[in-house]
Chain A
Amino acid sequence: DQQVKQNSPSLSVQEGRISILNCDYTNSMFDYFLWYKKYPAEGPTFLISISSIKDKNEDGRFTVFLNKSAKHLSLHIVPSQPGDSAVYFCAASFSGTYKYIFGTGTRLKVLA
């Protein structure tokens, strides 16, 4: 049973436009979420986090939105750059457990 889902395996966006990556979860007890990007043959790079006490967190070009009632979070990248082309993973946990459930990833391609 996949508790964290990224239903879009891939996404293509023009450079300069907004990229929106989506993530759904099934367990309403998850209360801490992370986003990572991953290049081939490298470890995932931490991007941004959000706690369930917030509905938005922003860091530079990256903004994460959390909709607890819909059990949905999204990562917005504005403006998108070709270097953002990578696989993006969302991850969820129960705060304090340090055990994360990862989604299957969305491959983002930013077209120049």
Chain B
Amino acid sequence: KAGVTQTPRYLIKTRGQQVTLSCSPISGHRSVSWYQQTPGQGLQFLFEYFSETQRNKGNFPGRFSGRQFSNSRSEMNVSTLELGDSALYLCASSLPSGEMFFGPGTRLTVL
């Protein structure tokens, strides 16, 4: 079974721009979560989607948004990029038991 895939793997943007990241979960997994990893803050929960509905949201500003499609694929959007948004963005899909499997991440650099 293929794992979680994320595209693109690397992105360089400038302040003020917006970015969209994509995630394809493991086949059959309906829950998709997004996390931000930075050296100072570790892994921070962004949001979780199930059947196209956002079920949980972390403490991030409204510039961070996401959605999930009927095939469980998910996208995350960050608008008006700031330097502090530079991070590794990780997508994970989950079994009903709660076990969570991460993709390789998208490394976003904001200049």
* Chain A interface residues toward B at CB < 8 A: 32, 34, 36, 41-46, 49, 89, 91, 93, 95-105
Contacts and interface: CB of A to CB of B under 8 A. Distances in A.
Contact of B90 (A44, A95, A103): A44
A105 to B, nearest CB: 6
Interface stretch (B13-21, B48-56, B62-70, B79-87): B48-56
Contact of A98 (B31, B44, B102, B104): B31
B33 interface: yes
Contacts of B104: 42-43
A104 B33 CA distance: 19
Contact of B103 (A43, A98, A103): A43
Interface of B: 4, 6, 31, 33, 35, 42-45, 48, 50, 55-56, 58, 90, 92, 94, 97-105, 107
Secondary structure class of chain B's binding surface, majority of residues: strand
Contact of B4 (A34, A43, A104): A43
Contacts of A95: 98
A89 B43 CA distance: 9
Contacts of B103: 43
Nearest to B31: A98
A100 B98 CA distance: 10
Secondary structure class of chain A's binding surface, majority of residues: loop
Given A46-B99, A49-B99, A105-B42, A98 B94 contact: yes
B42 A100 contact: no
A98 B99 contact: no
Contacts of B55: 97-98
B45 A34 contact: no
A49 B96 CA distance: 13
A4 B32 CA distance: 22
B105 A100 contact: no
A93 B76 CA distance: 22
B45 A99 contact: yes
A42 B44 CA distance: 16
B50 A98 contact: yes
A98 B100 contact: yes
